[in-house]
Amino acid sequence: MTTEPALPDAAESRSADVGTDTGSEPNFRSPVSFVRRGSRLQGRRQQAWDELSDRFVIDVPRDEADTSVSPDYVFDAAAEFGRTAPLVVEIGSGLGEAVAHAAEQNPDKDFLAVEVYLPGLAQTLQRIGQKGLTNIRVVQANAPEVLSTMLPAGSVDEVWVFFPDPWHKTRHHKRRLVKDSFAELVARVLVPGGIWRLATDWSDYAVQMREVLDASALFRNLHDGERAGEDSPLTRVHREGLENKAPDDDVDARGGWAPRFEGRTLTSFENKAHEAGRLIFDLAYRRN
Ligand SMILES: C[S@@+](CC[C@H](N)C(=O)[O-])C[C@H]1O[C@@H](n2cnc3c(N)ncnc32)[C@H](O)[C@@H]1O
């Protein structure tokens, strides 16, 4: 039996790395949603990288930082995959569990995994090799740059953001990926009618996602008003005092939560959230 290597701890636990607005990448002009994590590869991950990176890793020209994308570079999915097919982009794909599973289940679609964490990408390559997948590519890059210039406008059928780093401390909320400016970038790449799927195991980030997207004229909540009141996972978090919060009587009258996305396999990351007694919040929005 092989043991699944874990993702690194949540980024904000590495307090030494988050003391400044520029994180540990000196050239970013605004706070980034990640910190530098180990980039050394060993064993099977190194082997997977050596054997598969030429074929499956998009070799993007860089700007300043090593996770940047030169603004002149534009991804050509048809040339890359050798066909025209619906494109799904997973942002922050971690160890690649979700995207590799989905690529295997949906051979008629193409998948792009976007991740800054090199060992996670190497692990994704391992999965690609094990499953013999051809409909997936990976890129080591900062997601906002991928969305703002690398991907052509209106070229993506679905964007997935599953369990983004929660950045719990209030002073770190500006690092959260899902905010107004990010929503505009996702809207840019989606085809009209394209879908943005999100999931998180932290209720206050779930509320932030819902606020940002419900307020956006670019998106429509596919489950507006659903799972409200006693059916809302947010009500349960309040009532049951989950996430180490004191129990309270707040009822989530608004709802808007999606059912669990059946195309998202249960990853080791999500499993840990279940084991810790946290609830999962799913959201799904359509690009207007
Ligand atoms: C908490 S992990 C979740 C990983 C995966 N989605 C899962 O459910 O197992 C969040 C991931 O997002 C990645 N990430 C954070 N900010 C990013 C960014 N700006 N661009 C690309 N990846 C990013 C992190 O490196 C990390 O692997």
User: Hey, where are the domains in the chain?
Assistant: 11-222
pLDDT for 34 equals 86
The protein residue with its alpha carbon nearest to ligand 1, atom 12, reads 92
For ligand 1, say whether the CB of 163 is within 6 Å of any of its atoms.
Answer: yes
Atom number of ligand 1 nearest to Cα 161: 6
Flag whether pLDDT at 205 surpasses 50.
yes
d(CA 126, CA 46): 9
- pLDDT, tens only, 219-254: 999 999 999 999 999 999 999 999 988 999 999 999
pLDDT for 35 equals 79
d(CA 258, CA 222): 8
d(CA 148, CA 144): 6
- pLDDT, tens only, 36-76: 677 789 999 999 999 999 999 999 999 989 999 999 999 99
pLDDT for 28 equals 56
Q: Which CATH superfamily is domain 11-222 in?
A: Vaccinia Virus protein VP39 (3.40.50.150)
- pLDDT, tens only, 212-227: 999 999 999 999 999 9
d(CA 66, CA 62): 6
- Give residue 15's pLDDT band: very low, low, confident or very high (50, 70, 90): very low
pLDDT for 18 equals 33
pLDDT for 3 equals 43
Does the annotation list 142 as a binding residue?
yes
For ligand 1, say whether the CB of 200 is within 6 Å of any of its atoms.
Answer: no
Mean pLDDT of 256-283: 96
pLDDT for 29 equals 61
> Is 9 assigned a catalytic role?
no
d(CA 145, CA 24): 17
Q: Report the chain's mean pLDDT, rounded to a whole number.
A: 91
Report in angstroms the alpha-carbon separations of 165 from 7, 114, 193, 269: 11, 14, 27, 11
Does the annotation list 17 as a binding residue?
no
Catalytic residue chosen out of the listed positions 17, 66, 72, 165: 165
The protein residue with its alpha carbon nearest to ligand 1, atom 7, reads 94
- pLDDT, tens only, 19-31: 333 344 444 567 8
Q: What is the Å distance from ligand 1's center to 10 Cα?
A: 9
Q: Do the beta carbons of residue 48 and residue 42 sit within 8 Å? A: no
pLDDT for 43 equals 94
Does the annotation list 12 as a binding residue?
no
Flag whether pLDDT at 200 surpasses 90.
yes
pLDDT for 78 equals 98
For ligand 1, say whether the CB of 116 is within 6 Å of any of its atoms.
Answer: yes
Identify which of 115, 197, 205, 272 to mutate to test ligand 1's pocket (most ligand atoms within 8 A of the CB).
115
